[in-house]
């Protein structure tokens, strides 16, 4: 007796396989037609043809109406917890005011830092919960959340506590990353090394309280150099953190090469990655996390070279980079469309990038991103006839229902969305 049986699945993306999916392998999607799934105790207990379900009993039956069913999506790069918003910067961007000038006028990331420092833990939690509800309604069942809008111990700690509480109370699994080295705070502008050391020391507290499993740094011109980033990431590894890096987002500094050198789980952004860096990445175990929403929103027409990455054999993942400045969207489906148009990724590659590879980018490859017997039943039912339809029909939400560990946690009625 199954707890739940999902019947009448027109197209089922099982993503069945082993390990991250690299290069050429991303071109083939493991899928079944006219399929069904049995769920027991929150896990996938049976997968077969729709025909066979006649002989299987279950407490609940969900009819997929002949449409698409996939694993829950994984968003492996977000800045989920912050206060305030930055809509007043949009006219300045339109007028061509450079980002550094916006910063000088008190805007940009430092305005988010001010707002986040001033907010209570409860306020941060309530705001992040609303964003997380929206992500879930778009089909995301696992999300990575970075700190990095505190840039002091007290506020970084507050952000990480909020992420941990969300993980415990919300249906979406939240994987926490310490990004204390996101920017240099105003009070440390003239001594960035002291600030970095302060953040390195603070990692002991984070480890002790189990507030994050990853550490991350923004390696970029005007923020942290490759040398500073190497030191920070090495220290993080010594303290038992897995590491990620904001690498070569704008300039080609060598952040991609550094990610490979330190054995980072993921290297993120990579718009300015050098050809040699991409080559190294493709021959490593580091996942390339691409964020085309950020390139789109910056409006400069410069996107990461996903084609070279995949053609040379890299495992590519996609994320929203949800944040109040450069990518204010929770909609990973829209990111899939951007990947199709501007990263020239095929639909098959895109689905690998938002499921399996995204799961590996947050060290959840063994549990998320695939529908296989024994795994958590994190499953999305789509109001779409096939997988190619989702990136094609853009800007809207195609999700009909989301199951997290076998339970229906988000369901769309006619014209409304309810999230439990
Ligand atoms: Zn980021």
The answer to whether the beta carbons of residues 316 and 357 sit under 8 Å apart is yes
pLDDT, position 359: 98
pLDDT, position 415: 46
**How many angstroms does the Cα of residue 335 sit away from the middle of ligand 1?**
15
Residues of the chain with pLDDT under 70: 413-420
**How many angstroms does the Cα of residue 43 sit away from the middle of ligand 1?**
32
Q: Which helix (H) or strand (E) holds 115?
A: helix 109-118
pLDDT, position 168: 98
Which residues have beta carbons under 5 A from ligand 1 (an ion)? 321
Render pLDDT for 68-124 as a digit per residue (tens, 0 to 9): 999 999 999 999 999 999 999 999 999 999 887 888 887 899 899 999 999 999 999
d(CA 419, CA 133): 6
Tokens of residue 312, six digits: 């040379």
pLDDT, position 99: 80
Tokens of residue 220, six digits: 């970029």
Is 0.75 surpassed by the pTM of this model?
Answer: yes
The answer to whether the beta carbons of residues 236 and 243 sit under 8 Å apart is yes
Q: How far is CA 124 from the centre of its chain?
A: 20
pLDDT, position 417: 47
**How many angstroms does the Cα of residue 78 sit away from the middle of ligand 1?**
6
């Amino acid at each position: 007796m199954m707890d739940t049986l999902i019947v009448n699945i027109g197209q089922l993306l099982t993503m069945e396989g082993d390990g991250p999916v690299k290069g050429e392998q991303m071109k083939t999607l493991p899928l079944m037609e006219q399929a069904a799934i049995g769920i027991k105790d929150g896990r996938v207990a049976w997968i077969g043809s729709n025909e066979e379900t006649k002989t299987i009993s279950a407490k609940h039956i969900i009819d997929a109406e002949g449409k698409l069913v996939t694993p829950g999506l994984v968003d492996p790069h977000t800045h989920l917890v912050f206060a305030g918003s930055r809509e007043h910067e949009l006219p300045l961007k339109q007028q061509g005011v450079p980002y550094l000038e916006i910063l000088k006028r008190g805007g940009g990331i430092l305005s988010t830092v001010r707002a986040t420092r001033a907010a209570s833990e409860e306020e941060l939690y309530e705001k992040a919960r609303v964003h997380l509800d929206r992500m879930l309604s778009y089909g995301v069942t696992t999300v990575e959340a970075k700190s990095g809008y505190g840039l002091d111990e007290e506020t970084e700690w507050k952000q990480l506590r909020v992420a941990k509480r969300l993980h415990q109370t919300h249906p979406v699994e939240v994987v926490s990353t310490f990004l204390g080295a996101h920017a240099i705070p105003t009070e440390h502008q003239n001594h960035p090394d002291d600030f970095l050391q302060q953040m390195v020391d603070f990692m002991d507290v984070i480890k002790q309280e189990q507030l994050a499993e990853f550490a991350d740094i923004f390696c970029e011109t005007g923020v942290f150099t490759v040398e500073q980033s190497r030191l920070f990431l090495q220290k993080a590894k010594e303290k038992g953190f897995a590491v990620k890096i904001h690498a070569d987002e704008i300039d080609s500094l060598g952040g991609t090469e550094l990610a490979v050198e330190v054995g980072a789980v993921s290297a993120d952004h990579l718009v300015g990655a050098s050809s040699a860096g991409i080559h190294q990445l493709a021959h490593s175990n580091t996942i390339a996390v691409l964020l085309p929403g950020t390139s789109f929103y910056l409006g400069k027409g410069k996107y990461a070279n996903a084609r070279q990455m995949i053609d040379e054999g890299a495992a590519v993942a996609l994320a929203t980079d949800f944040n109040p400045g450069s990518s204010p969207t929770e909609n990973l489906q829209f990111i899939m469309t951007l990947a199709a148009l501007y990263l020239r990724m095929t639909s098959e590659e895109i689905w690998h990038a938002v499921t399996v590879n995204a799961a590996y980018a947050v060290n959840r490859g063994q549990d998320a991103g695939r529908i296989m017997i024994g795994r958590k039943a994190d499953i999305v039912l789509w109001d779409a006839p096939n997988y190619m339809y989702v990136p094609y029909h853009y800007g809207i939400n195609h999700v009909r229902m989301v199951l997290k560990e076998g339970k229906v946690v988000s369901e769309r009625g006619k014209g409304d969305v309810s999230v439990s």
